Amino acid sequence: MCGIVAYIGTKNALKVLIKGLRRLEYRGYDSSGIALIEEGLRVFKKQGKVKDLVREIGDIKLRGTIGIGHTRWATHGIPNDVNSHPHVSKNSKISIVHNGIIENYQAIKTDLELRGYTFKSDTDTEVVVCLIEDIQKNSQLQIGDAVRVALSKIEGAYALVVLSEDQPDRLIAARKGSPMVLGIGEGEYFIASDASPIIEYTDKVIYLNDEEITVITREGYEIRNLQDVPQLPYIQQLDLELEAIEKAGYDHFMLKEIFEQPQSIADAMRGRLAIDAHKLVLGGIQKHAEQLVEAKKIVIIACGTSWHAGLVAEYLFEDLCRIPVEVEYASEFRYRNPVIEKGDMIIAISQSGETADTLAAIELAKSKGTIILGVVNSVGSSISRITHEGAYLHTGPEIGVASTKAFTGQLTVLIMIALRVAIRKQTISLPAYQDLLKALHQIPNKIKRVLEKNDQIKEISASIKEVPNALYLGRGYNFPVALEGALKLKEISYIHAEGYPAAEMKHGPIALVDENMPVIIIATRDNSYDKIVSNIQEIKARKGIVIAVVTEGDLLISKMADFIIEVPDTPECLMPLLSVIPLQLLSYHIALLRGCNVDQPRNLAKSVTVE
């Protein structure tokens, strides 16, 4: 949700910023802008994508070596040029880029208006930059101190960078609740919302903590807290390859990430699943492993696709470990008065590790004294740092806004956790455990076989690309997959889609079924196979178009369905890892055929760092 990048050094700042904005564009693409020092403060901003900003700057030669940039996902004020960042103070000397929401901006705005300030935009951010100007003017403070005083008056979430014409040798950056990384080069420094704009220049980074503020010059940086007390920085070595954040010859990040899944799942298991020794080791959750085994209840908190992974985990932990599970939307959990009792455990699932609602829900659970385990992709992210322990997905950066490989990475990690607990609790037998480990180990190769169906799925997509609605059905472990399939379709193709447990169809959705309604039904061979066959008959009796995901060699459903997509056989609890792949490809191809921007669907952002 909004991307920030800033640079100070000897390079051409414009080039570094534009490249950085392109890498961060997945975080929001309503508008973008930059400010740099070029004989005074120069600001360029434009509604639309980074390419529109580049067009706006055109041939103007800019040689400045310090600057700030922003790509926006609109919160306050519609996406237009005026509301775009950077925002500039009334005296046109201070500029700011900001990610987050300032909750008390209206009160501050009113106060500033009374003292003669006027505002061009509808944003909360413009209020902050004017507040900084006001403080500086009244107290004769240096820019760094003025920002610190301003932040003490602000309520809400922010990652922000300030650049002032009066002190053109420094950047001021601060964070509270929104992510921020400081990259340390040789005589140059970078700031960004994540490491992607930084990795091609340096692998030394500091993840700023909440309520930290840093003043950066070409000579060095200093980090202080909001009480002005110096903080000891922890410099980390980044373990990220540049190729991981590039398209590698694929047309879209989403397609690349779908095709990466055999590898990303293998990476999630690497060093954890020793198949020859029948061993599963999860170092990241070792300290609290016994508490998990003894847990009276597990509460899973997550949003979006991660919430769907949580639903699969509900089946897993109940089925394999006999532990009751509740799966909560983080946004609901944080505002309820949830019953968390001694002996309960929380698992927070997040790709980005920055989702504001999930972070707030974790804080709430923490305040009740609960142990929280994180299942997170983004290394060093806020959620990975505030949870007690956790297991990273290790699936590499996910750039496409529609989550794909992170979902299967989450499932892989959750399956491994459930298996560890189950064998320790002896709620499954040793042979069953070993069989499941073996089957899990085979998943990457089986996904390769599903990916071979890409052309066939593309053809099916062509035949339903014009429909206004679609229904996704599944039972048991495949019910959350139906929800995820429907979410993928609506996110990127803007077709209204709903996921349902197949049996629930009779309680409403069946009323919608006619010859124009595609029903994507996950009908792999498992305990509920006969029931789902009946559901298919019910749909066909109403002339619905049935697209069935079936187990290889299924002769029965292939006679009934309009289209079938085969996936290899695997134990029921692992099937979501295979059955979701055709649904990812289906939505990808449909969106593409409809001319949609697959990687950057409208109104969405990859990382939702505001409520």
**Pair of tokens at residue 235:** 């410099």
- Between 401 and 550, whose beta carbon lies closer to ligand G6P? 401
The b/e string for 48-75 (b: 16+ C-beta within 10 A; e otherwise) is bbbeebbebeeeeebebbbbbbbbbbbb
Closest to 217 measured CA to CA, from 172, 184, 170, 161: 170
Residue of 297, 454, 604, 611 that binds ligand G6P (CB under 6 A): 604
Nearer to ligand G6P, 37 or 415 (CB): 415
The residue within the footprint of ligand G6P, chosen from 98, 148, 420, 606 (CB under 6 A), is 606
Which residues, numbered 305-324, are part of the site for ligand G6P (CB under 6 A)?
305-306
Where does this chain touch ligand G6P (CB under 6 A) — which range of 36-44, 117-125, 589-597, 600-608? 600-608
Question: CA-CA distance, 116 to 133, in Å (whole number)?
Answer: 13
Give the tokens for residue 568: 């290899």
Examine residue 304 and tell whether it contacts ligand G6P (CB under 6 A): yes
Answer yes or no: are the C-beta atoms of 33 and 84 closer than 8 Å.
Answer: yes
Residue 448 bears catalytic tag? no
Q: How far is the CB of 606 from ligand G6P (least distance, A)?
A: 5
Site string for ligand G6P, 346-375 (x = CB under 6 A): ----xxx--x--x-----------------
Work out how close the CB of 288 gets to ligand G6P at its nearest, in angstroms, rounded to a whole number: 21
Q: Could you confirm whether 573 is annotated as catalytic? A: no
Shortest CB 102 distance to ligand G6P, Å: 22
User: With binding defined as CB under 6 A, does residue 608 bind ligand G6P?
Assistant: yes
What is the C-alpha separation between 310 and 576, in angstroms, rounded?
A: 12
Give the nearest distance from C-beta 608 to ligand G6P in angstroms: 5
Q: Which is nearer to ligand G6P, 348 or 519 (CB)?
A: 348
Residue span binding ligand G6P (CB under 6 A) among the ranges 299-307, 443-451, 464-472, 562-570:
299-307
Nearer to ligand G6P, 304 or 444 (CB): 304
> 130 or 608: whose CB is closer to ligand G6P?
608
Q: Is 587 in the site for ligand G6P (CB under 6 A)?
A: no
Q: Contact, 156 vs 101, CB < 8 A?
A: yes
Write out 167-205 in H/E/C secondary structure: CCCCEEEEEEECCCEEEECCCCEEEECCCCCCCCCCCEE
Long-range contacts of 450-458 (CB under 8 A, 24+ apart): 450/567, 450/568, 450/578, 450/581, 450/582, 451/258, 451/259, 451/261, 451/262, 451/581, 451/585, 453/565, 453/566, 453/582, 453/585, 454/585, 456/565, 457/565, 457/582, 457/585, 457/586, 457/589, 458/585, 458/589
Token output for 412: 């892989």
196 binds ligand G6P (CB under 6 A): no
For ligand G6P, the closer of residues 65 and 71 by Cβ is: 71
Judged by CB under 6 A, the stretch of 84-92, 151-159, 260-268, 344-352 that binds ligand G6P is 344-352
Neighbours of 224 (CB within 10 A): 17
Task: Please tell me the count of residues contacting ligand G6P according to CB under 6 A.
Answer: 15
Q: Which is nearer to ligand G6P, 352 or 524 (CB)?
A: 352
| Residue closer to ligand G6P, measured from CB, 355 or 570 | 355
DSSP state of 210: T
User: Under rule CB under 6 A, which residues in 524-583 are in contact with ligand G6P?
Assistant: none
Least distance from ligand G6P to the Cβ atom of residue 331, Å: 10
Print burial letters for 424-460: b (CB count within 10 Å at least 16), e (below 16).
ebebbeeeebeebbebbeebbebbeebbebbeebbeb
Alpha-carbon span 542 to 61, nearest angstrom: 65
- Residue carrying structure tokens 């993928």: 488
Smaller CB separation from ligand G6P, 309 or 520:
309
Find, among 291, 311, 304, 351, the residue nearest to 331 by Cα: 304
Q: What is the DSSP string of 35-65?
A: EEESSSEEEEEEES-HHHHHHHHTT-----S
Of positions 298, 401, 436, 502, contacts ligand G6P by CB under 6 A: 401
The verdict on 49 binding ligand G6P (CB under 6 A) reads no
Q: Does residue 395 belong to the site contacting ligand G6P (CB under 6 A)?
A: no
Tell me how far, at minimum, the Cβ of 603 lies from ligand G6P, in Å. Answer: 10
Which of these ranges, 33-41, 302-310, 385-393, 510-518, lies near ligand G6P under the rule CB under 6 A?
302-310
**Counting contacts by CB under 6 A, is residue 303 touching ligand G6P?**
yes
**Rounded distance, CA 232 to CA 145, Å?**
19
Q: Which residues belong to the active site?
A: 2, 606
Contacting residues toward ligand G6P, per CB under 6 A = 303-306, 350-352, 355, 358, 401, 403, 604, 606-608
